[in-house]
Amino acid sequence: MAKTRDLREHGLVRRRILYAYLLAGVSLSLLAWLVRGHWGELRQLSNLPPGAFLGIVSLYLIGRALSAEAMRVGLSSLGFSIDRSICFMLTLLQSYTNLIIPRSGLAPPAVYLRVQHAVPYASYLAFAVLMILLATGLMGALGFWAGWFVNGLNPIPRVEMLWAFGGIAGAAVLSVAAPVRLFGVLPEWPRRHLLAAHKAWSSLAGRPFVLIRLVGLQAAGIFSRAVRMKVALEIAGVHIPFPQVMVVSICTDLSMLVSLTPAALGFREAGVLFGAALIGIEPGAAMLAAVVDRLATTPTVILAGQFVLWRGVREVLKGSKGPSEGSGA
């Protein structure tokens, strides 16, 4: 019976991965059709400035380091002291897992922390959901700030964009700070996760300095991604003020939150094109910026993920040899 259940679950996972890659293919095909008149822009890829390209890679790693520090601070507030290097490797592993199995990035860090550091699954997942909601709220707030300084939006008027960003920020705040009884109207799956995040929020509310550090780290991560977007856009020949770049970057970040594909393939590019359309950037230039960023970050994720896996396997083998050598003596 157990073997049959395992086979069934394995089949479900395989189908889930297959559907995700099919969806990624459909998304990319649709985007390719939408920008079919701008494929000539991609010829500029042969003249990529290496310094700016490496700058995107560095900014990606800086963003992962900021996420790792937020993980370390959060786990420390729960009573678990984890080394910075371990947290950094776990964030890289999270990105690598999402590249292979969509929306599964939280699982490997949760398993590792449970096995190696006795961090309960529920505690880590509650903290992770809280960080996602906190980042979403900051995206909405910073998007509102950026939209306030942007004029001449096309095709969506500025007021509608401000309402959208403000609504995202408000919904994220309510998701963690609303009275618990209001969650009772929600379906079981989101209610369970929101209640866990609410509990984590309540525990941090009594530690304002920890909360301020987490907010600062999340905001720094959003700004680092915006700087990365600015570099990619300038490689594509687009030179615009930083608030406009922030609008494009936050639209990209929000698209990744709802992605169902490996590494948000197709969804992230759609976010770049949508944000660029809001401020009047040509689709060809936006597509080039999205491709440049993808070419810089995806190989980085693969190489870093392989290194983390190699180091993890090495530690497991080292740990398995220790007891046997001791018993032999």
SS3 labels along 109-135: HHHHHHHHHCCCHHHHHHHHHHHHHHH
- Closest of 120, 140, 125 to residue 94, by C-alpha: 125
| Contact indicator for 236, 286 with CB cutoff of 8 Å | yes
pLDDT at 176: 83
What is the tens place of the pLDDT at every residue in 219-234? 999 999 999 999 999 9
Q: Greater confidence, 202 or 15?
A: 202
- pLDDT score of 53 more than 80: yes
Q: How far apart are CA 75 and CA 124, in angstroms?
A: 8
pLDDT in tens, 55-68: 999 999 999 999 99
| pLDDT number for residue 325 | 42
Between CA 106 and CA 196 the distance in angstroms is 15
CA 283 to chain centre: 24
**pLDDT band of 92, cuts 50, 70, 90:** very high
Tally of helices (H runs) and strands (E runs) in the chain: 11, 0
Distance of alpha carbon 116 from alpha carbon 319, whole angstroms: 11
pLDDT surpassing 90 at residue 322: no
Tokens representing 231 are: 């570099």
Residue 327 pLDDT: 38
Instruction: For 279, list phi and psi in degrees, rounded to 5.
Output: -110, 10
pTM of the model: 0.85
Return d(Cα 329, Cα 143) in angstroms, integer.
Answer: 63
Q: Say whether pLDDT at 314 is over 80.
A: no
How much is the pLDDT for 320? 47
- Average pLDDT over the chain reads 83
